[in-house]
Amino acid sequence: MMFWYGNGMSGWGYVLMTVGMVAFWALVIVGIVMLVRAAAPRSTPPPAPYAPTPEEIVAMRFARGEIDEDEYRRRLDALHTHRPGSGA
């Protein structure tokens, strides 16, 4: 015989039991969702290929010896004065 409950469970006992049951099932569902998400393969897009800037292309051509210093400076000046969207 359980004397500590008196004549039965009070209203607060039913409330705590309901809240505990809801919290338990919420934790179980969240745990299952987290396991499924952790096991699923990630679909990340591949990184975009690197495209050198026009200044880098001119610098690489100068470094390879395809153009001389005067041609290099002339092309850099042309790139800096005729930027797209500058209205020139």
- Region 44-60: mean pLDDT is 89
58 burial via Cβ count (<10 Å: 0-12, 13-18, 19+) = buried
CA atoms within 13 A on the CB side of 72: 15
pLDDT tens digit string along 10-38?
Answer: 778 888 999 999 999 999 999 999 999 98
Structure tokens at 6: 């008196």
Q: Range with the lowest mean pLDDT among 24-28, 43-47, 52-56?
A: 43-47
Q: Which amino acid is present at 43?
A: S
How much is the CA Rg of the chain, to the nearest whole Å? Answer: 36
- The pLDDT mean for the chain works out to 86
Q: Is the pLDDT of residue 4 over 70?
A: no
pLDDT class for 3, splitting at 50, 70, 90? Answer: low
Considering the entire predicted model, what is its pTM? 0.41
